[in-house]
Amino acid sequence: MATHFTLSLSPPKPFKNFTSFTKIPSLHFKKPLFITSIQSPTTPAAPVVQTFWKWLSDQGVVSAKTPAKIGVVPQGLGLVAQRDISRNEVVLEIPKKLWINPDAVAASEIGNVCSGVKPWVSVALFLIREKLKEDSIWRPYLDVLPDCTNSTIFWSEEELAELQGTQLLSTTLGVKSYLQSEFLKVEEEILIPHEQLFPSPITLDDFFWAFGILRSRSFSRLRGQNLVLIPLADLINHSPDITIEDGVYDIKGAGLFSRDLIFSLRSPISVKAGEQVLIQYNLNMSNAELAMDYGFIEVKPDRNMYTLTLQLSESDPFFGDKLDIAETNGLGETADFDIVLGNPLPPTLLPYLRLVAVGGTDAFLLESIFRNTIWGHIELPVSRANEELICRVVRDACKSALSGYPTTIEEDEKLKGEELNPRLEIAVGIRAGEKKVLQQIDQIFKQRESELDELEYYQERRLKDLGLVGEQGEIIFWESK
């Protein structure tokens, strides 16, 4: 039975490319963690910031009455309130003419050659091209963009070595491989055949830069806009203390008789003059996802997550039946389960584990007569052998994964008390968080192992249903008359 039970704890679920983008960037992780900035370690010089503000003013986007202005904050650039701002008050409104999105690419000189590529790739090429052009109309905006972020895609090999054993390392390497593959296709299909459209050769480093900018700064979940950069609005920083996420930004019409669109940004909380205007980037992202997209992590325990990957083995003699049952219940041949520190196990994890482990004398549950009811049966313990197997396999997998880290949790916690550079601090936080989740998973199944003799299994439940076992587990006999 165990030979057909496959449990993978690393790597986690594969990298998802840009079917959608999340919001906004950030770069630094400093103690105490209150605000996270989008800027690179080197904040743009004041003249560049002033030029950007003047450009925005010339475009009619900002004025002396604008509620927030660009400010230099300890973490980089941010939006600072010029006066008291109330909760839900509009802070900025940016017209569509200043958005950078696939529509802007389509209207540009490279629109035709980019029509067949992924939307994010077309916007990336547009950004790179405009950055290379000295006379770009977007120059004031491009000059305040960071050269890189602390996203793990920009880490050196030495820095990535600090992530040894983590699922984030596997994901990062997968993203880097994906970007290299995409760049080779772009180079072959667009850059080489149409080199006259680009002021100078585009490199893989350029492609990585544009990817990092889009991944960290673009807004999503907007009406008809799944990928859009909003100059000035993307300077807003993240606060882990803000729990309001919805309704902070939206797209609306410019006026009653206008077809133009405006991006509207609101403050989720009241802000005093001189303070930063902050938002929550994404409440549901794990620390690994925050590190990948924005280059920071949080100290909150529920940001720590580990992904268990379960798979039905094709060599399992009951593979077809199990796959049918899994698909009927919204799962598949492979299933990922995100385990969050301090949270209960996902409700479908144990049933799926039991399904994968079903075999031997329990295999009768896979027969067609049970097809409509089996999920209800495996939501509860099937048999002692089945439950013992899933406990053993999960615990062995946890121990194996924990052995892949070069440090212990205690060593990581000691490092947290030292002055670390932002990237090392991210690495220490990520690996400590993953190990804590693994220990939590191991403890859950260790506890379950200790209760195997006390659990009620399928056969006992069935005998009770037939009236052959009493409430205390005693067998009921009938004497023939």
Q: CA of 413: how far to CAs of 286, 417, 435, 436, in Å? A: 19, 7, 12, 11
Catalytic residues: 281
* pLDDT > 50? residue 179: yes
> Is 194 labelled a binding residue?
no
SS3 377: helix
* pLDDT > 60? residue 355: yes
* pLDDT > 80? residue 481: no
State residue 38's pLDDT score.
Answer: 40
SS3 335: strand
Strand-pairing partners, residue 225, are: 222
State residue 219's pLDDT score.
Answer: 86
* Top-confidence residue, 50 or 469: 50
> Is 321 labelled a binding residue?
no
> Is 238 labelled a binding residue?
yes
State residue 477's pLDDT score.
Answer: 53
Mean pLDDT of the chain: 88
> Is 294 labelled a binding residue?
yes
State residue 473's pLDDT score.
Answer: 56
**Do residues 455 and 387 touch, judged by C-beta distance below 8 A?**
yes
Q: What is the pLDDT of residues 18-32, one digit of tens each?
A: 444 344 333 222 222
| Number of residues that this document lists for the chain | 481
pTM, two decimal places: 0.88
Q: What is the mean pLDDT of residues 128-151?
A: 95
Question: Residues of the chain with pLDDT > 90: what percent?
Answer: 78
* pLDDT > 50? residue 37: no
State residue 463's pLDDT score.
Answer: 77
> Is 141 labelled a binding residue?
no
Q: What is the pLDDT of residues 307-348, one digit of tens each?
A: 999 999 999 999 999 999 999 999 999 999 999 999 999 999
Strand-pairing partners, residue 307, are: 338
> Is 237 labelled a binding residue?
yes
* pLDDT > 80? residue 34: no
Q: Give 3-state DSSP helix, strand, coil % of the chain, rounded to 5.
A: 45, 15, 45
Q: For residues 296 and 285, what is the distance between their CA atoms, to the nearest angstrom?
A: 12
> Is 281 labelled a binding residue?
yes
Which amino acid belongs to residue 260?
A: D
State residue 319's pLDDT score.
Answer: 96
Residue 40 confidence class, pLDDT cut points 50, 70, 90:
very low
Instruction: Name which of 25-34, 129-138, 155-164, 336-345 the model is least confident about.
Output: 25-34
Residue 247 confidence class, pLDDT cut points 50, 70, 90:
confident
* pLDDT > 70? residue 17: no
E strands in 197-332: 237-238, 249-253, 261-266, 278-279, 305-312
Start-to-end Cα distance in the chain: 45
Residue 462 confidence class, pLDDT cut points 50, 70, 90:
confident
Q: Which of 80, 77, 128 is nearest to 100 (CA)?
A: 128
State residue 73's pLDDT score.
Answer: 81
Residue 4 confidence class, pLDDT cut points 50, 70, 90:
low
> Is 205 labelled a binding residue?
no
Q: What is the pLDDT of residues 233-246, one digit of tens each?
A: 999 999 999 999 88
